[in-house]
Amino acid sequence: MIRYEVTLDLEPSRAAAVAAFLRDVHIPEIYDTGCFRAIRLERASPTRLRASYLAARADDLERYLRDHAPALRAAFVAACPAGVSLTRETWTEVAVWE
């Protein structure tokens, strides 16, 4: 499994609007690409969010990044042009204990 994570640090005045856009528009559009098996949106604080995208294979993530990410990122910037700082990381599953 491949986990692609985006962490967002939000200005307090923009936090509610950005969270709503992620939940109601942006993440559903990403899920509809079919590149990810599951997506989680989590909150560490009112101004810090993390979206975790679970892909079955590296090819699925690469397809998302190549075919879908540019337009979806542009749409996010258009909807949320200020008050958001983000980082992106890709994690490869090494082991799981359940």
**pLDDT value, residue 94:** 93
Please write the tens of the pLDDT for every residue from 7-20. 999 999 999 999 99
Which amino acid is residue 70, in one-letter code? P
- pTM as predicted: 0.92
Minimal CA–CA distance to 6: which of 89, 94, 82? 89
Q: Does domain 2-92 have CATH number 3.30.70.100?
A: yes
Band of residue 47 on the pLDDT scale cut at 50, 70, 90: very high
Work out the average pLDDT over 80-90: 95
Minimal CA–CA distance to 87: which of 12, 6, 25? 6
Give the start-to-end residue ranges of the domains of the chain. Answer: 2-92
In percent, the amount of the chain with pLDDT more than 70 equals 100
Q: Is 65 helix (H, G, I), strand (E, B) or coil?
A: helix
**pLDDT value, residue 25:** 98
Band of residue 60 on the pLDDT scale cut at 50, 70, 90: very high
Specify burial of residue 10 (Cβ count, 10 A radius: 0-12, 13-18, 19+): buried
Ordered alpha helix ranges (H), 1-98: 15-21, 27-31, 58-63, 69-79
